[in-house]
A and B are shown apart, each in its own frame.
With several copies, the nearest count.
Chain A
Amino acid sequence: MRLTQIIEALLFASDAPLSAEDLSRVDERLDEDTVEAVIRELRAEYELSERSFQIYEVAGGFQLLTRPEFVSVLERYDSVPQPSRLSAPALEVLSIIAYRQPLGRAEVEDIRGVGSSGVLRTLVERELVAPVGRAEGLGRPLLYGTTRKFLEHFGFRSLDDLPRPEELPVVLRERPQPQQEADGAEGTDGTDGT
């Protein structure tokens, strides 16, 4: 059994991206570097044999996904699960959390000028954001951050793939932020672990 076959089998049988570290656990011959070399080899094989899928880097891991040119075929088939799209308010709340994390509900609402608890709750249920700690101060409100599912949903390799603030048309002056205490994920019951 070749290493390319083993890695391919794992990627093929997984419904989420697997990191090089995860993948290296399967065989003693593997470490993170060799996993990446194997993945390069697989990519070349798929390219050469014109497979309809390829290995993409998502959320700090690797995932087998169809190539974009097949969307026109796949979006017509009922048996193909279609990607969910988030509403404009959900995207707005997510972008605030993504750039300002960790932050609390009150800060999100301050920025948007509207109540956001419903949207926030749904985002937590969908595991796109999760509580990551508590702020200092009155009531020690929960602070939220984005999860790995968030990265997967947008196809980001990491948070570094977020559009940089200075690429956005309006660059706002930063408000002085209270230094947050690095405060464990208490009370999160590990929602983003899966």
Chain B
Amino acid sequence: MKSPVEAVAEPHNPTANVDGAFVVELDRFQGPLDLLLHLIREQDIDIFDIPIGQITEQFLRAMSDVERLGLDRAGEFLEMAATLVRIKAQMLMPRRTDALGELEDPRAELVRRLLEYEHFREASLRLAEAQADRGRHYARGHVPPRTTSQPVVAELECTWDEVFAAALRVGERPKGPDDHVVAQRAVPIEEKIGLIVQTLAQLARVEFRRLVEPFGDKLHGVVTFMAGLELSKRRQLSMRQSEPFADIWLYRRDDVDPDEADVDGTGMDEADTEDADAPDADH
């Protein structure tokens, strides 16, 4: 007897259509959902409109020798049979309405379960394909043991200080020429507006550079700058620069120091399209 896991997965065709009646080998099914799905598929039944009387009858007939399966598995089939019979009875009664005023279909939960189960059935067939593909490759049959002992995963030696130091350096990495492998994606301006608003909710002011550096590409810089302009137009912040080519700072609007008041309404002093990479201008 093979263990349930080792047994070879084989496509099952557990019914024979004898004189229009289904003869079902119950133990070929993984469970009641599997059997139900089979009955539905085999007869091309619309899963969203299951003829519950017909299916219940077929299900019960298929179950006639259920006790052969043993108590646990039989119980699973019996539970489903009870559910089917209950739904069948509910179909005959006046329908209740749900919260939206729609008529409730007593079959709805069963349909949901069937669809969900079918989804994973399909997924498991894909896994079987992947398993078969992988099975066509062989690893080395014999790997001699090493003279030294196998590497033991040593006790982790790592302090929070190290992690934290790494956190502080996030975004510092100079971008190499290989970085284009990271798929270029559109940078929505809303995302950057969100980033700025969130940051200024915690900080009174922030350097433009610090908003952009972690993302490290020009596009993020441009979009963040546009987001800053947009927010300053909405008077939610002001953008400042002490002198050309100096760092741009974003100030939370309610915190603007009147001494350094931003006179023109744009919220931007010396606002030219900044080129942060420009050489220091002696000025």
Q: Which residue of A lies closest to B198 (CB)?
A: A174
Chain B: interface size category: 35 or more
Known: A13-B143, A183-B185. A99 touches B134 (CB 8 A): no
Binary per-residue interface labels of chain A (80-99) against chain B in the complex, 1 for a CB within 8 Å, 0 otherwise: 11111111111110111011
A115 / chain B contacts, CB cutoff of 8 Å: 72-73, 76, 181-182
- Are B153 and A170 within 8 A (Cβ)? no
- Are B142 and A14 within 8 A (Cβ)? yes
B149 / chain A contacts, CB cutoff of 8 Å: 78
- Are B198 and A119 within 8 A (Cβ)? no
Known: A16-B142, A78-B146, A92-B169. A172 touches B136 (CB 8 A): no
Known: A68-B136, A86-B5, A172-B115. A15 touches B167 (CB 8 A): no
Contact of A13 among B2, B141, B152, B157 (CB under 8 A): B141
- Are A171 and B151 within 8 A (Cβ)? no
Interface size on A, residues (CB 8 A): 78
Interface centre among B32, B73, B124 (most CB of A within 10 A): B124
- Are B144 and A92 within 8 A (Cβ)? no
* A140 on interface, CB distance cutoff 8 Å: no
- Are A171 and B158 within 8 A (Cβ)? no
A79 / chain B contacts, CB cutoff of 8 Å: 141, 148
* A184 on interface, CB distance cutoff 8 Å: yes
Q: Which residue of A lies closest to B163 (CB)?
A: A95
A172 / chain B contacts, CB cutoff of 8 Å: 112, 115-116, 119, 167, 170
A161 → chain B, closest Cβ, in Å? 8
* A34 on interface, CB distance cutoff 8 Å: no
Report A's interface with B, CB cutoff 8 A: 9, 12-16, 33, 56, 63-68, 70-71, 74-75, 78-92, 94-96, 98-99, 109-115, 118-119, 122-123, 125-126, 128, 153-156, 161-163, 165-175, 177, 181, 183-184, 186-187, 190, 193
Q: A13-B139, A111-B214, A115-B73 are in contact. List 5 more A-B contacts (CB 8 A).
A: A15-B139, A84-B155, A95-B123, A169-B170, A184-B185
